[in-house]
Each structure stands twice: as structure tokens, then as C-alpha cells.
Amino acid sequence: MASTSASADTSATASTPKKYNLRNPLPPLGLPRTRSQADVLQASFAECAVNRTVTATWVCRQQRLAMNACMVTHANNREEEDRAREEWFSTHEERRRAKEEELVRVEKRRAEVIKMMREDEERRRQQAEGK
């Protein structure tokens, strides 16, 4: 029974593009604000973890747990999620417009490059005929 539900979930996600998350269509909201509230704890963990790789997990355990607890506390705050969601939706139109403008600039530049390449090809062809 569990295998059939897993296969149904897999087929549903396989048909949708990877960039869209159907369960949570919004990006992680409020993460920068949450991180800023845990700056001091992040700094202490980072200071402890300098020049450590695997050992940072247990050597810096207290700092890591304190940092994670702070982030979880702030990230799981319903008001913070609502504020971040409002901010995301309020800037959504602006981000979409900026993206469209960037695409227009890219297409314009692409057309210029193609034109220059064709002119260069024509110039080289004429030079080759002249020799």
C-alpha cells in the first residue's frame, strides 16, 4: 500500500517542473530576517568552526545548537511568516517587471551581436573575394 502512494507521489512530481514546489509554492520567506536575528550566535559558531571540517560538528556543538535553536524559534514564528509573505507578494510585481526588462535588454544585445557577426562575415567574405 505504501509503495503505491509513493509511486503516485513520484509520478505527480515527475510531470511538474523542478523549479516549482507544489506543496509550498513560495520561496523560503523571512530567512534573511531570521538570520539577522541570530547573527551573534552565527558569529560564535563560525569563529569556533574556523579551520575545522568534520570535527566542527562535535567541537562546536554548543554554538551550533544555540544558533539552530534561535533560528528555529524565529523561523517558526507565525507573525514572521505572515510579514515575510506580505513582503514577498508586495515585491513580486516589481521583481517580475525587472526580470522582463532584463530579458528585453538581453534580446536587444543578442540582436546587436548577431548583426555584428553578420557584418563581420560579410566583410571577411568581401575581403576574401578581393584577394
101 in a structural domain: yes
46 in a structural domain: yes
Could you report the per-residue pLDDT of 43-82, keeping only the tens digit for each?
888 899 998 888 888 999 999 898 888 877 776 777 777 7
**What's the mean per-residue pLDDT of the chain?**
78
Q: Is residue 27 domain-shared with residue 60, that is, in the same domain? A: yes
Q: Is residue 26 domain-shared with residue 69, that is, in the same domain? A: yes
**In total, how many domains does the chain have?**
2
97 in a structural domain: yes
131 in a structural domain: yes
- Own/partner pairs for 86-93, CB < 8 Å, 24+ apart? 87/29, 88/26, 88/27, 88/29
86 in a structural domain: no
Please check whether residue 96 is in contact with residue 88, taking contact to mean a CB–CB distance below 8 angstroms: no
29 in a structural domain: yes
Non-local (6+) Cβ contacts of 57 within 8 A are 64
Non-local (6+) Cβ contacts of 88 within 8 A are 26, 27, 29
Query: Alpha-carbon distance 129 to 85, whole Å?
Result: 64
Non-local (6+) Cβ contacts of 67 within 8 A are 38, 41, 42, 44, 45
pLDDT score of 100 more than 50: yes
pLDDT score of 26 more than 70: no
119 in a structural domain: yes
- pTM of this prediction? 0.41
pLDDT score of 98 more than 50: yes
Q: Is residue 108 domain-shared with residue 70, that is, in the same domain? A: no
Domain range for 112 is: 93-131
For residue 30, what pLDDT band results from cuts at 50, 70 and 90? low
Q: Is residue 98 domain-shared with residue 60, that is, in the same domain? A: no
- pLDDT at residue 2 in the model: 45
- pLDDT at residue 17 in the model: 47
Please check whether residue 48 is in contact with residue 60, taking contact to mean a CB–CB distance below 8 angstroms: yes
